[in-house]
Amino acid sequence: MSERPIVVITGSSRGIGAASARLFASQGYGVCINYFRNAEAAESVARDVRAAGVACITVQADVSLETDTLRLFETVDRELGTLTTLVNNAGILLKQSRLLGMDADRINKLFKTNVTSCFICSREAVKRMSTASGGEGGTIVNVSSIAAVLGSPNEYTDYAATKGAIDTFTRGLALEVAGEGIRVNGVRPGIIDTTIHADGGEPGRVQRLGPTVPLGRGGTAEEIAEAIYWLASDKSSYATGTTIDLSGGR
């Protein structure tokens, strides 16, 4: 890897992505904070990152759009330097619904944002990192969900299925690029205290379900960031194609 590692974290203006940006910065990484709509939140994370003494840029890009994603990576090339790590974190869920309430527009929106984005961002990262094309190698960490295993019946089977796709992609891409200096791994968070639950129509989800988790509480964004960082760093040098459950035992 380069002397000064550079990470792109998609969707890092809030939640797990923001906690990851702060942690990577504390470990000396230059950070690209990607956001969708919330420029103010992105700037607030950027202030914390810069306070750690590392380079930082914020880039607005809707990663469900290929053109925006290309612009995101070109901006990093130009303004930050050689990419060493990608965290595919951006993701959405939509209002809780049984299958009978879902239409193709909803399902396609989820797959575009949660899955297609992960493929296209990873493609751009592999182009830059692969030792087969003159790169220095690198790491990719995909943020899945324990929903991929649980299926999320009556709430969001569509969201759960996007995360199942991420898990399969993590495995497949890891094997595809294992000989090119790139490791690909993932995390499967459980119920984590972020604002994503309000988008599902249940802002109090962590309070409602936290006590039912074997460890007796919801998790924090910082607890997920620790595992993301470990998988991205040389500390996990013999791990590839694996996804870690971070769901309090659920």
Which residues are catalytically annotated?
Answer: 159
Interface stretch with ligand NAP, choices 36-44, 95-103, 120-128, 169-177 (CB under 6 A): 36-44
Q: Closer to ligand NAP at the Cβ: 130 or 244?
A: 244
Does 150 participate in binding ligand NAP (rule CB under 6 A)?
Answer: no
Q: Which amino acid is at 55?
A: A
Query: Binding segment for ligand NAP among 29-37, 47-55, 128-136, 209-217 (CB under 6 A)?
Result: 29-37
* Binding residues for ligand NAP, total number by CB under 6 A: 30
Nearer to ligand NAP, 32 or 177 (CB): 32
Q: Provide the minimum distance between the beta carbon of 198 and ligand NAP in the complex, in angstroms, as a whole number.
A: 8
**Is 236 a binder of ligand NAP (CB under 6 A)?**
no
Binding residues for ligand NAP, per CB under 6 A?
Answer: 10-17, 34-38, 41, 62-64, 89-92, 113, 143, 145, 189, 191-192, 194-196
